[in-house]
Structure 1
Amino acid sequence: MSRSERQKMQEGDWYCCLDGELSALRHQARLAVHHHNQHPPDPGESLSPSLAALFAGHGQNCLIEAPFHCAYGINITLGHQVYLNAGCTILDTAPVRIGDRSMLGPNVQIYCAQHHKDKALRAKGLEIAHPVTLGSDVWIGGGAIILPGVSIGDGAIVGAGAVVTRDVEAGVTVVGNPARALPR
């Protein structure tokens, strides 16, 4: 029995992103994101109903400012009191976990997909997905980019505009492109 492209994606194998089932899931996410981005602010609400229903899981008192974008949503898990400022994008082709009390500045981008380096295979939609994990109490500065497969430890800080290409240890501050640790 052959595996579906969705199963390959979830298992961390090469898959075709042009697949019908994956397209339908992305469409479902676009609808939820559209509702979120058009939803009137409510001071008593922590997460819009459309995103709460879409995400794999979320804790209490999470807030995602509009506009927001995600690829699937079904691979995103938020801890308690997570804050995403306006313009954040999460391309969640693999699990994205954001720990308690973590904060993302405006226009932060998290990418899980890596497209094939062979141009013929890339043209056929072949890609592979790697999870991204942010620990608790992480602060990601505005405009930072987190690349596929990166883990950021508890209490770490990523400076504005940094491009994080590899794991960041707990309590470390990284800046630049590619991101490098500042002396402690």
Structure 2
Amino acid sequence: MGGDWIRYRTSPALQELSWKAHATCATINRTFYEAPDEAQRLFHELVPGAGAGVDFRPPISIDYGFRLTIGDRTFINADFLIIGGGAVTIGADCLIGPRCGIYTPNHAEGIEGRLGGWELPEPVTIGDNVWLGGSVTIMPGVTIGDNSIIGAGSVVTRDVPSGVVAVGNPCRVIRPIAESDGPDQPRAAASEAR
């Protein structure tokens, strides 16, 4: 999967893979607070490419966990969604806000192709130390560079370079990341990214 046209709706094998992944997600979501160690074990079984110290909050919904890589110490907030068979790479030390969605399939544009169930999964890459505000949607084939911030509610349809704040629908770069900020500095980036 990824790079070649597929027919998910007519492929029992792909449907079974995603069904099993969603069943595992349902178990993780149901048991997370009562049996956190078991939920973590299931998560790492579902996503073998998850690094050390990855932290998440349910619910999660992932089509193909074996197509997902997550770097160390990344935090994923509630209602995280990954759809489609394209490879998804999320770097280390990322902050993923609530209700973020990553979509990897593009359906055929032509009428016959859509009716035939054809889709083209494309990879999504998120660099290290990226902050996605709440309800960010990332479209197929997008790369977001290291250290960037994507403002809440943004729809990312094109690549975003490293070290910038980008917002909107469609998402666009509005400025570079501030050199420093802290308790005595203005919090412009934080207010824009919420």
TM-score by length of 2: 0.85
Q: Does 1:142 align with 2:137?
A: no
**After the TM superposition, which of the residue ranges 53-62 and 161-170 deviates more from structure 2?**
53-62
Per-residue deviation at 1:58? 1.1
Q: How far 1:44 moved relative to its partner? A: 7.3
- Aligned partner of 2:114 among 118, 122, 130: 122
Where do residues 1-80 of structure 1 align in structure 2 (5 Å cutoff)? Answer: 9-10=1-2, 12-18=3-9, 19-41=11-33, 45=37, 48-80=40-72
Cα distance, 1:56 vs. partner? 3.9
Correspondence 1:81-100 to 2 at 5 A = 81-100=73-92
Report the counterpart of residue 5 of structure 1 in structure 2.
Answer: none
Residues 21 and 64, structure 2, Cα contact 8 Å, conserved in 1 = yes
Deviation per CA, 1:129-169: give whole Å up to 9, x if none: 11001111000000010000101111000000001011111
Q: Which runs of 4+ in 1 moved over 6 A?
A: none
Q: Is the counterpart of residue 104 in structure 1 residue 104 in structure 2?
A: no
Task: Check conservation: 1:46, 1:61, Cα contact below 8 A.
Answer: no
Who wins on radius of gyration, i.e. which is larger?
Answer: 2
Instruction: Please give the TM-score of this superposition, normalised by the length of structure 1.
Output: 0.89
Q: Tell me, what secondary structure is at the counterpart of 1:182?
A: strand
CA 108–72 in structure 1, closer or farther in 2 if over 3 Å, else same: same
When the two structures are aligned, how many residues end up with a matched partner? 175
Amino acid at match of 1:39: T
**Aligned sequence identity (%):** 35
CA contact (8 A) 1:136 1:155 kept: yes
Query: How far does the alpha carbon of each residue in 1:7-31 deviate from its partner, in whole angstroms, 9 at most, with x for none?
Result: xx24x11110120110110111011
Contact 1:68/1:86 (8 A) holds in 2: yes
Task: Kindly provide the amino acid, as one letter, of the partner of residue 163 in structure 2.
Answer: G
Mapped contact 1:46–1:60 kept (Cα < 8 A): no
Question: Which region of structure 1 is more displaced relative to structure 2, 31-40 or 43-52?
Answer: 43-52
| 138-147 vs 114-123, which moves further | 114-123
Gaps of 5+ in 2: 177-194
- Calculate the aligned-residue CA RMSD, in Å: 1.8
User: Aligned equivalents of 2:170 and 2:140: distance in 1?
Assistant: 14
SS state at 1:167 partner: coil
Which has the larger helix fraction? 2
- Residue 142 (structure 2) pairs with residue 159 (structure 1): no
